[in-house]
């Protein structure tokens, strides 16, 4: 099959492209390069530069490359920014998806994988978040992901499109330093940034009802996440028309912020004690995936542990910030 991978020049998309091509699928990337990096892509993977909002270009890409499935990762992803710029987030994430789905339906492309997020759940008050846990997103970003799921499933019901909405939990790590995340929006790069500036990493609240008082999250290695896309793509390709899957993609294992900060200190060699500050508004105490539906539907589960995530993310960080290396433990 030939898969159009929107957002394929991004952090996760670059890994999905690699996993798909290594698994023997053909990949074509569609990306406006707003945050993507063309150099992340293997030379033999075609890149169409454009926005998912450009209906003509999307339709041409589907036809020119005889696309038989779409993996849609292209989106804006910063929660805080989405609060300040809701119109932009709804335009890029919901209208961009609507335009793409219209072209997919017109072209009769049979399979569609959508990047969703654990952000659709908001502040779940459960030990393990199942796919049936109520979705109450806390930000415009989370709302756009939930609306995207609704739209994707509605088109599936109306047209027979086979769909998979993958709700990623906390993504970390890199398959290779040049594929690493260049943004500083998640815990791991935020701690790297503080440490390499010689500053104390911050822990927002140590009075949560968790074993060590800090927030607990479910981290997944981006290489595992990419492999989940291959499994989902193949599952859809062999499924009946109209099949719709909504799956958590996580490890089902909670790691606290304190544990992560200690692990980062161990991996990087930086020994700067963390500073505990006030809680941040909107941070749930614990968000850990129930991953059994994913395993049952895809016959797949994540293999890489948190240390591999931190070590590979650090290798990517040092590539971008060479000064970091000189300060590490010999």
Residues near ligand NAD, by CB under 6 A:
6-7, 9-13, 31-36, 51-53, 73-77, 92, 96, 115, 117, 168, 171, 186
User: Active site residue: 11, 89, 141, 168, which one?
Assistant: 141
- We find the least distance from the C-beta atom of residue 99 to ligand NAD, in angstroms, to be 9
Which residue's CB is nearer to ligand NAD, number 21 or number 51?
Answer: 51
Among 184, 171, 185, smallest CA distance to 251 is for: 171
Nearer to ligand NAD, 52 or 246 (CB): 52
The nearest distance, CB 55 to ligand NAD, in angstroms, is 12
Residue with tokens 């979705």: 135
The answer to whether the CB of 71 falls within 8 A of the CB of 49 is no
CB of 303 to ligand NAD, least distance (A): 19
CB of 76 or CB of 258, closer to ligand NAD:
76
CA distances from 183 to 15, 35, 36, 109, 146 (A): 16, 9, 11, 33, 23
DSSP letter for each residue of 188-201: HHHHHHHHHTT---
HSE-up (13 A, CA, CB side) for residue 127: 1
Nearer to ligand NAD, 35 or 295 (CB): 35
CB of 16 to ligand NAD, least distance (A): 9
Nearest of 69, 73, 91, 71 to residue 82 by alpha carbon: 91
Between 17 and 155, whose beta carbon lies closer to ligand NAD?
A: 17
- Residue with the two structure tokens 């804006």: 76
- Contacts with 103 (C-beta within 8 Å, 6 or more apart), sequence order: 55, 58, 59, 62
Q: Please state, in angstroms and rounded to a whole number, the distance separating the CA atoms of residues 228 and 300.
A: 7
Minimum Å gap between C-beta 147 and ligand NAD is 13
Three-class SS state of 303: coil
Our CB check for ligand NAD shows the closer of 29 and 128 to be 29
Q: From the CB of residue 277, how many other CB atoms can be counted at a distance below 10 Å?
A: 12
Q: 208 an active-site residue?
A: no
Q: State the nearest-atom distance from the C-beta of 265 to ligand NAD, in Å.
A: 22
Residue of 110, 196, 96 whose CA lies nearest to 144: 96
What is the rounded distance in angstroms from the CA atom of residue 312 to the CA atom of residue 176? Answer: 7
Question: Smaller CB distance to ligand NAD: residue 222 or 270?
Answer: 222
At its nearest, how many Å lie between ligand NAD and the CB of residue 250? 10
Closest CA to 40 of 7, 70, 10, 20: 10
Whether the Cβ atoms of residue 37 and residue 11 lie closer than 8 Å to each other: no
Query: How many Å apart are CA 160 and CA 307, to the nearest integer?
Result: 42
Tell me the catalytic residues: 141
């Amino acid at each position: 099959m030939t898969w159009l991978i929107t957002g394929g020049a991004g952090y996760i998309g670059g890994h999905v492209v690699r996993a798909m091509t290594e698994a023997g699928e053909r990949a074509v990337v569609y990306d406006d390069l707003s945050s993507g990096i063309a150099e992340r892509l293997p030379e033999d993977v075609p890149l169409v530069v454009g926005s998912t909002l450009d209906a003509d270009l999307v339709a041409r890409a589907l036809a020119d490359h005889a696309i038989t499935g779409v993996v849609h990762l292209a989106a804006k992803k910063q929660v805080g920014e989405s609060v300040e710029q809701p119109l932009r987030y709804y335009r890029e994430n919901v209208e961009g998806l609507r335009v793409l789905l219209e072209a997919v339906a017109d072209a009769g492309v049979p399979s569609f994988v959508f990047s969703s997020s654990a952000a659709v759940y908001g502040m779940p008050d459960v030990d393990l978040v199942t796919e049936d846990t109520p979705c109450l997103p806390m930000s415009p970003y989370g709302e756009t992901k939930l609306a995207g799921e609704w739209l994707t499933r509605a088109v599936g019901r109306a047209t027979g499109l086979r769909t998979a909405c993958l709700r990623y939990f906390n993504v970390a790590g890199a398959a290779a330093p040049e594929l690493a995340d260049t943004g500083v929006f998640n815990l791991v790069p935020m701690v790297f940034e503080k440490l390499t500036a010689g500053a104390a990493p911050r822990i927002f609240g140590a009075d949560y009802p968790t074993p060590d008082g800090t927030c607990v999250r479910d981290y997944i290695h981006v290489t595992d996440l990419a492999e989940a896309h291959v499994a989902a793509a193949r599952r859809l390709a062999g499924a009946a028309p109209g099949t719709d899957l909504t799956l958590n993609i996580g490890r089902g294992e909670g790691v606290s912020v304190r544990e992560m900060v200690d692990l980062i200190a161990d991996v990087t060699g930086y020994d700067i004690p963390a500073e505990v500050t006030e809680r941040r508004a909107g941070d749930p105490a614990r968000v850990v995936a129930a991953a059994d539906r994913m395993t049952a539907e895809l016959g797949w589960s994540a293999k890489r542990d948190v240390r591999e995530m931190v070590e590979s993310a650090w290798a990517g960080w040092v590539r971008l910030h060479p000064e970091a290396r000189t300060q590490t433990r010999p």
